[in-house]
Amino acid sequence: MDTFQEASAEVETQPTENITENGGGFWRFLLDLIETLVLSVALFLGINAITARVLVEGFSMRPTLDNGEYVLVNKIAYRSSLPEYGDIIVFHFPIDPHQDFIKRVIGLPGDEIRVSDGKVSVNGYSLSEPYIAAAPLYAGSWIVPENHIFVLGDNRNNSSDSHSWGPVPSENVVGKAIIVYWPPPDWQLIKHIKIAITTP
């Protein structure tokens, strides 16, 4: 008789235990979901804090970069220093900061930039530039102000750059272009060819 009563008691309490277990499973799932979302948001914000993704629009950087390529940018590369000669950088366009441009660094603060006879010179020294599409057909001279950078596109004769609208304030620099990551056939590490001085 006692055995029958104990068995009945077990049968009566079983549904209550299932309800408790199901309720705990739901809250566990909800907690895991929240943790995943928080981690995803933190990861997204962290990645965006140190990198940017930029679409190359136009042909001003040919043959180095082409229209339609997506570039990954290191936003902390110049946190404590200026770009170096030859670096390919992304910056906010001085005339319209809502636009981002990508160009090559030619001059730093205090430099005298001169373009004549198809050659670019910095402080009186001509540059050897194997990366350009063609020699520039324009001419001019510029002094780079303090806290500014002089940039040119590698496709010199088809580029809106410092030769047409002036140097870029250093505060406008977003970062250093490091990788072409899309489309897949164009994937490559971006080469920042150091500018070579040839003649005084």
Would you say 91 and 99 are in contact if contact means Cβ atoms under 8 Å apart? no
What average pLDDT does the segment 127-153 reach? 96
Give residue 3's pLDDT.
46
Question: Over the chain, what is the mean pLDDT?
Answer: 85
Q: Is 103 a catalytic residue?
A: yes
Q: Quote the CA–CA distance of 154 and 198 in Å, as a whole number.
A: 18
Residues whose CB is less than 8 angstroms from the CB of residue 127 and which lie 6 or more positions away in sequence, other chains included: 106, 119, 120, 121, 195, 196, 197, 198
Q: Is 75 a catalytic residue?
A: no
pLDDT grade, residue 9 (50/70/90)?
Answer: very low
Q: Quote the CA–CA distance of 49 and 89 in Å, as a whole number.
A: 17
Give residue 4's pLDDT.
43
78 has a pLDDT exceeding 90 = yes
Closest to 198 in 3D by CA, of 134, 84, 121: 121
Question: Given 8, 40, 60, 176, which residue is catalytic?
Answer: 60
Instruction: State the pTM of this model.
Output: 0.77
Closest to 122 in 3D by CA, of 154, 147, 152: 152
pLDDT grade, residue 191 (50/70/90)?
Answer: confident
Question: Given 40, 103, 121, 126, which residue is catalytic?
Answer: 103
- In tens, the pLDDT along 148-182 reads 999 999 999 999 999 999 999 999 999 999 999 99
Q: CA separation (Å) from 24 to 15, 38, 93, 98, 133?
A: 14, 21, 55, 50, 66
pLDDT grade, residue 6 (50/70/90)?
Answer: very low
Give residue 11's pLDDT.
46
121 has a pLDDT exceeding 60 = yes
